[in-house]
Amino acid sequence: MAALILHAPNNGNKNVYKTLIAAEYVGVQVQLTPDFQMGVSNKTPQFINMNPIGKVPVLETPDGPVFESNAIARYVARLGHNNLFGSSLIHQAQIDQWIDFSSLEIDANIMKLYLPRLGFATYFPPVEENAISSLKRALEALNSHLAHNTYLVGHSVTLADIITTSNLYIGFAKLLVKSFTSEFPHVERYFWTLVNQPNFRKILGQVKQTEAMPPIPSAKQQPKESKPKTKDEPKKVAKSEPEKPKVEVEEEAPKPKPKNPLDLLPPSKMILDDWKRLYSNTKRNFREVAIKGFWDMYDPEGYSLWFCDYKYNDENTVSFVTLNKVGGFLQRMDLARKYAFGKMLIIGSEPPFKVKGLWLFRGQEIPKFIIDECYDMELYEWTKVDISDEVQKERASQMIEDAEPFEGEALLDAKCFK
């Protein structure tokens, strides 16, 4: 078989490691594109033709391109002789289970901690706190499983181990110090066992655990460069005009950060925290107390309501994966907590499950900073609620209430963002 071409930079990218390690196990040749430059190579017409949004990696095959790192690793793993997908249907399902788990629960939260430290995302303390809490919960679950298992599935390395270890790599090598990971001794044992396997070590090299978490880049002004003196300057100093103290300029207070545009809107009669408190504290007669209270509080001039419908419901074939998908979305919405309230319903008694939601946002449009920062937004169709339409208003009430059946179907689960 002709060599496969992996279009990506060779700079320690964990998403590249997944494929290269899998290729070592199955004996498939994968070549990295030489001299790949982010921001240049992935903007060419050739690359955009393979992946319209320009993200890496992309695998070029004789039969066409494949993008998304997990899909690429799956493709490569199926080409060789070694069995990285298990010997039974249940093992194959469990391998997919751990791939999804490590991507949604481990990798997603590690990147929430890491990207702001690289300057690629805005730092929000509540988001970081939530990411740490969610990451610890995920590592506790993984630690419990590994207390009685050497590998994630079966008794040998599978693609689940390759992808999970690659996702853990950034954590151990760049972010998570020993005092953090020591709470999860079975995860530690697992990670160091895997990265020292010959096929892993050939790609990763010798892995060392970071000794310190990188700091958040400072927003303070950088020291100003002093201008070299010219020949005329000594004469000016000698004259009667005293030089102004430099301290006044150099120690100028940093400019305040610009306010969120939503904070500049006219005051609203609806106090969002009051509604969230009413929602949380109403345990009986929810329709009469909380729902009525919501509509009494609702300010259509200061807030807007939106229905959202997941675009790819036919993919929601596994219940826990669908639940994790929604949970990840809510975690990534933390940046909007001050300005939003949401309900997400996972609907259906059997797959494929439908995901629908109702969101309350400050202002008349979905805030731009949410659209820009939370990539999940583009996975949903958004429709503004017309509260003058009694049918739409009642549908919104039912979603707040977790009414069941909802639109004739059972609820698998309901999640609240408040």
What does 269-305 look like in DSSP terms, one character per residue?
S--HHHHHHHHHH--S-HIIIIIHHHHHH--TTTEEE
Of 9, 6, 120, the C-alpha closest to 71 is 6
Checking if the pLDDT of 80 tops 90, the result is no
Band the pLDDT of 318: cuts 50, 70, 90.
confident
- How far is residue 112's CA from residue 132's CA, in Å, rounded to a whole number? 9
Q: 3-state SS string over 128-166?
A: HHHHHHHHHHHHHHHHHHHCCCCCCCCCCCCHHHHHHHH
> What is this structure's pTM?
0.54
pLDDT of residue 38: 87
| Mean pLDDT of the chain, nearest integer | 88
Checking if the pLDDT of 143 tops 70, the result is yes
What does the pLDDT average to over 371-390? 92
Q: Where are the alpha helices (DSSP H) in 171-269?
A: 178-181, 185-195, 198-204, 233-238, 247-250
- Are residues 355 and 406 in contact, defined by beta-carbon separation less than 8 angstroms? no
Band the pLDDT of 381: cuts 50, 70, 90.
very high
CATH 3.30.70.1010 is right for the domain spanning 264-417: yes
Alpha-carbon distance values, 224 to 136, 253, 367, 407 (Å): 42, 14, 36, 63
Checking if the pLDDT of 136 tops 50, the result is yes
Pick the CATH number of 89-204 from 2.10.109.10, 3.30.460.80, 3.10.20.30, 1.20.1050.10: 1.20.1050.10
Residue with the larger pLDDT of the pair 282 and 320: 282
Helix (H) or strand (E) holding 358: strand 354-362
Model confidence pLDDT, tens digit, residues 161-202: 999 999 999 999 999 999 899 999 999 999 999 999 999 999
For 314-353, list the strands marked E by DSSP.
340-347
The CA radius of gyration of the chain, in Å to the nearest whole number, is 26
| Percent share of the chain, pLDDT over 90 | 67
Residue with the larger pLDDT of the pair 95 and 221: 95
- How far is residue 32's CA from residue 9's CA, in Å, rounded to a whole number? 8
What does the pLDDT average to over 52-67? 92
What does the pLDDT average to over 206-230? 65
Task: For residue 4, list its beta bridge partners.
Answer: 30
Band the pLDDT of 98: cuts 50, 70, 90.
very high
pLDDT of residue 250: 45
pLDDT of residue 251: 45
Q: Which of 209-223, 244-258, 294-308 has the highest mean pLDDT?
A: 294-308
Q: By mean pLDDT, which of 33-37, 93-97, 236-240 is the weakest?
A: 236-240
Band the pLDDT of 328: cuts 50, 70, 90.
confident
- How far is residue 110's CA from residue 228's CA, in Å, rounded to a whole number? 46
What does the pLDDT average to over 124-142? 92
Alpha-carbon distance values, 98 to 31, 80, 161, 314 (Å): 27, 21, 8, 21
What does the pLDDT average to over 122-133? 89
pLDDT of residue 222: 32
Model confidence pLDDT, tens digit, residues 252-308: 555 566 788 999 999 999 999 999 999 999 999 999 999 999 999 999 999 999 999
pLDDT of residue 115: 93
pLDDT of residue 35: 86
- How far is residue 235's CA from residue 250's CA, in Å, rounded to a whole number? 24
Task: For residue 5, list its beta bridge partners.
Answer: 31, 60
What does the pLDDT average to over 392-412? 95
Checking if the pLDDT of 5 tops 90, the result is yes
Alpha-carbon distance values, 95 to 84, 100, 178, 269, 407 (Å): 9, 9, 28, 51, 34
Checking if the pLDDT of 248 tops 60, the result is no
Torsion, Cα of 152, 114, 324, 408 (10° steps): -160
pLDDT of residue 205: 93
CATH 3.40.30.10 is right for the domain spanning 4-77: yes
pLDDT of residue 255: 57
Among positive and negative, which fits the CA dihedral 250, 251, 252, 257? positive
Band the pLDDT of 230: cuts 50, 70, 90.
very low
What does the pLDDT average to over 138-146? 95
| Token digits of residue 261 | 């545009």
Torsion, Cα of 355, 360, 361, 364 (10° steps): 110
pLDDT of residue 242: 53
pLDDT of residue 319: 83
Domain boundaries, the chain: 4-77, 89-204, 264-417
Checking if the pLDDT of 235 tops 70, the result is no
| Token digits of residue 334 | 């933390």
